[in-house]
Amino acid sequence: MKKNRAVSLICLVFLANWVKAQNKVGLDSLQIQKLEEVVISSNRLEISLRQNSKTVQILTSDQIRQSGVTHVVDLLQQIAGIDIKRRGLGATQADLNIRGGTFDQTLLLIDGVKLDDAQTGHHTLNFLPPPQMIERIEIIKGPASRAYGQNAFTGAINVVTKTDTPKTLTLDLQKGNYDQTNGSVFLGNTTEKTSFLGIVSRNTSDGYRYNTDYDQAQYFVKSSFNRHKTPLDFIATYSSRKFGANGFYASPSAIDQYEETQASLISLSQRRSKGDWIFKPKVYWRRGQDMYEYIRNKPEIYRNLHVTNKLGAAFDTSIVTNLGLTGMGVDISRVSIRSNNLGDRSRTMMNFFLEHRFYLFNKSVDITPGFLASYFSDFGSHSFPGIDLGCQISPKFRLYANIGATFRIPTFTDLYYSDRTTLGNIDLNPEKAISNEMGFRFISPKVIASIAFFNRKAKNLIDYVKNSNNDSIPFKAENIQQVNTSGVDLELTHRIQINTLTHEFKISYSFLENNLENSGYNFSRYSINNNIKHHFISSYHLPIHKNLSTYFVYKYVKRTSGDAYSVMDAFARWAIGQWQVSMYLNNIFNTEYWESNLVPMPKGNGLLGLRYSF
């Protein structure tokens, strides 16, 4: 551990010297300045990135476009500290993990709407909007339970969708290896009073190995009404996925598995200002459906069907006074499931949030204590206190620290699931943890740099464990006594203008160490084994001409199991009037690797794209 701290200190010195050197370089500052002023809407207190006292990273619409990704899942894989464990090609099925947590410990939001699933977090990423619909992505690493409750155990990701666009109609078509065929139609228009954005897309493939074919369809609509007064935002989205699941969930020998999922969301939200007050009400309905067959097209052998619904309403408000900034809010939701395996069950959840930001020494120091009180109809009442501390050394440089309690109640799968490889446990206790971090952030018109040191002490961590590697012995959900997680996150973004073209270079690194205490289990599915220990990513947006640009990303991963691999992707785009030709190359060095459950990832493959905008 001393060696790792030394490495972190060296990185810190490197960043400081790099930042100092960049102040002498003349750069294009427009995007960085805009990023500095971004108000983090995933916070219930509206605070800019520059003044935030958490580890927050922003992916802008420009960065999303430059990367050329077809699925946002691929973009999130380019953030150190985020472990996207994919099972197969594209976004067929993937789990979202932050800082060594599990897929049930990370919360996904769309425009502030919480998309947690009482069945399982396996299908959370099915709700991600297409890249064309996204304004920015806000990534919170570390405890976010104080703002959102129990599913934000290790972090949260809020996808902010676009609210307006010039009048446009765009057609996209991509064709690639494994008979990949991607097509979409994007439509948008904005007037003084209303705006409308919508996309229809479908992606298909024969698969890169036996029983890995897929057929994915997505529909996403967002409209804003009464824009000239107090806008009312409406979202409706539906995603359908059908795919062969060779080795996805049971043992790798289960090659004939098959799955179909559906993800739906309807929401209405508003932001209203009156004097020093801000009011943000929202209502929403989230639906998920999961149909699984152990042997494809033979449901009589083994078949699961789960349908979940969540109805929710939330009301947040904040006010600025001479004493600082106060925020409070309440949200109520009811989740239910109908399942041939888990039964018919329901849960009611209520949360109350309150925090206040004190300013000291002419606003150069701020202290933000707060808490969230939660009630669950099946697990009683719980609270999540925490406090943030920030010190604005200069307009560009900020030191921060925070500490907070986190909590997660078992999912219905944790409690009740049963098959030949997995057993739930109705006697599970909720997970608990205390998380803390300290770090610094530097934002200038030329450079963004940050480093954060974090620690999490978790008790009663829920995992599926066993002592034998024998496939006939199932994994059973248990409360592990204690897992201490510590690590460091580092990120540096540098932009430079050469001959009127803006280049962007980015490196990020994450180190993570898990120390398991008081556990007699040798094998684990999620928490003990196979987290990313060393995670290094570098990317370079290289514009060649105003109409021709390229993008390269290199990813190095070493997991706690000892497995290590490197993957490199590349993207090129050439604009010719209203036409655009693109090429996306994945795993160009044919690396052999897997991210989850010993499912081998595809060797080198590519997509050739054509876009026409009216």
Cβ atoms within 10 Å, residue 10: 10
3-state SS string for 23-60: CCCCCCCHHHHHHHHCEECCCCCCEEHHHCCCEEEEEE
* pLDDT number for residue 241: 96
What sections of 23-165 are H helices per DSSP? 30-37, 61-67, 72-76, 145-148
CB 311 within 8 A of CB 267: no
Task: Kindly list the domain boundaries of the chain, sorted by start residue.
Answer: 2-613
> In the Cβ-directed half-sphere of 15, how many Cα atoms lie within 13 Å?
27
Dump pLDDT digits (tens) for 7-24: 444 444 444 444 444 444
Q: Is the dihedral of CA 164, 166, 168, 171 positive or negative?
A: negative
End-to-end CA distance of the chain, in Å?
Answer: 57
The pLDDT of residue 34: 58
Q: How far apart are CA 535 and CA 229, in angstroms?
A: 46
| Regions of the chain with pLDDT less than 70 | 1-37, 41-43, 518-519, 526-529
Among positive and negative, which fits the CA dihedral 560, 566, 567, 572?
positive
* pLDDT at residue 17, as a whole number: 46
Helix (H, G, I), strand (E, B) or coil at 66: helix
Q: Find out whether 374 and 386 touch, Cβ atoms under 8 Å.
A: no
State whether the Cα torsion 515-520-522-528 is positive or negative.
Answer: negative
Structure tokens at 71: 């699925």
Residues 72/135, Cβ–Cβ less than 8 Å: no
For residue 251, what pLDDT is reported?
A: 77
Enter the pTM of the model. Answer: 0.91
- pLDDT at 519 (0 to 100): 67
Fold of the domain built from segment(s) 2-613:
Maltoporin; Chain A (2.40.170)
The pLDDT of residue 149: 81
User: What pLDDT shows up at residue 529?
Assistant: 65
pLDDT for res 28: 39
The whole-angstrom separation of Cα 147 and Cα 16 is 32
Rg, Å, the chain Cα set: 23
CA distance 185 to 196: 14
Q: For residue range 586-604, what is the model confidence (pLDDT) as tens digits?
A: 999 999 999 987 899 999 9
